[in-house]
Amino acid sequence: MIDVRRTGHGVVFDDPPDAAQYVRESITTAPYRYRAVVRVDAPIETVAAHVPPSVGWLEALDAVTTRLTAGADALDYLVVHLGAMGLDFVVVADRLRRAAIAPVSAAGRGRRPSPRSTGR
């Protein structure tokens, strides 16, 4: 390319979207049927060791709590991966998904899920 020139129509946004957030959602949740939002009772550094950026995005809610947002085509996939983290979490989603995923939060640690975590 020796000479670069604009051709066709250009687009000017009045309120452009956040490019990083757009890419993050396009990779981690937009292509999937289900979206899980969970509050993990662990610092963001701990959760990041279990969740690569291509799988979900993390937001530090405070020094010891992290919000994880991820997507999948099957709830089973989300359940297995959330349970495999080995960290306590609470599902922040509609009741159907909470009922399907929340029991995994307490599983393996000898506890029953609390009514708060299942939305009942």
The strand pairing partners of 37, in sequence order, are 69
**Is residue 86 included in any domain, yes or no?**
yes
What band does 21 get if pLDDT is binned at 50, 70 and 90? confident
CATH no. for residue 44? 3.30.70.250
**How many domains does the chain contain in total?**
1
Q: State the alpha helices, DSSP H only, in the chain.
A: 19-28, 44-48, 75-84, 95-106, 115-118
**Is residue 76 included in any domain, yes or no?**
yes
Please state, in angstroms and rounded to a whole number, the distance separating the CA atoms of residues 6 and 40: 47
Please state, in angstroms and rounded to a whole number, the distance separating the CA atoms of residues 68 and 91: 10
Task: Kindly report the backbone phi and psi dihedral angles of residue 25, in degrees, each rounded to the nearest multiple of 5, phi listed first.
Answer: -70, -35
Domain that holds residue 53: 19-118
Q: Say what the pLDDT of residue 102 is.
A: 63
66: left (phi over 0), alpha (psi -120 to 50) or beta: beta
Across the range 41-57, mean pLDDT stands at 93
Residue 118 has pLDDT above 50, yes or no: no
